[in-house]
Chains A and B, each alone.
Chain A
């Protein structure tokens, strides 16, 4: 699988994501700088990594979402190329309008950095096919703006269409309906606050994230 990881000034999980992708797919992803206007020919998967792009200026993800490379990402997403946005990447995808809703300051105002249990809500997507519905998995979170909010109609639609991919089992950041990750209406864009790329080897303290990347390899390649 030919993958690309987008790198913004202030990204800091780009290398972790690249390592996870290489581990799962056997191929190093292309690292694509935010000023690029095109993705490498034949890109089959795009990762928008975590971090603090542009120092979270204006709003988390707001500047990155308007950078040149995001037009190419939006075009690719429109053609059905799978895109994952993790943490700041999720914020970037909502700001870019590729996913509904917004990620606001955590309800308790504090930065949350710990392992959190999640419930897999959808195992039919490109990203979650290697999990079981209802399965409890543990991914770490590390964010200040992870409080997912959308209007009630949007939340109802997400739930009704099976587009909630992961839900927090505990209270983490005040997210509406405990939403940790959502899919777009065509199922090829996933945004989530927890970090699957940080749990891909036993030395990380868990391997629950590895199946996400391995599952992708099977569904995409």
Chain B
């Protein structure tokens, strides 16, 4: 079983990397970009039966820094 964890900066937390990407996109001539936020995607290959609560625990204890980041878990049941 696989799960994907998306780690993103909380709203209101300044994202210098997102800003730089935004700036670079504009430099390439893309005019329609209002904002860019950069985050991380972490793929977990898990033992069958790993519960949501355990994945959440992994996120809180290591994968995300909940002072500045949010996380979202997406299970890929057939992967």
A interface list, Cβ under 8 A from B: 58-59, 62, 66, 94-95, 100-102, 104-109, 147, 149-150, 174
Contact = CB atoms under 8 A, between A and B. Distances in A.
Nearest to A61: B65
B53 interface: no
Contacts of B63: 58
B14 A109 contact: no
Contacts, number: 36
B33 interface: no
A105 B63 CA distance: 17
Given A104-B14, A174-B16, 7 more contacts: A94-B67, A102-B68, A104-B16, A104-B68, A107-B16, A109-B20, A149-B13
Contact of A101 (B14, B17, B67): B67
B58 to A, nearest CB: 11
Contact-residue bracket for chain B:
10 to 19
A149 B14 CA distance: 9
B15 to A, nearest CB: 9
Q: Is the interface of B mostly helix, strand, loop or mixed?
A: helix
B62 A62 contact: yes
22 contacts: A59-B65, A62-B62, A62-B65, A66-B62, A94-B67, A95-B65, A100-B67, A101-B67, A102-B65, A102-B68, A104-B13, A104-B16, A105-B16, A105-B17, A106-B16, A107-B16, A108-B16, A109-B16, A109-B17, A109-B20, A147-B16, A149-B13
Interface in B1-32: 13-14, 16-17, 20
A108 B17 CA distance: 9
Contacts of A95: 65
A62 B65 CA distance: 8
Interface string B55-74: 00000011101011000000
Contacts of A109: 16-17, 20
Contacts of B17: 105, 109
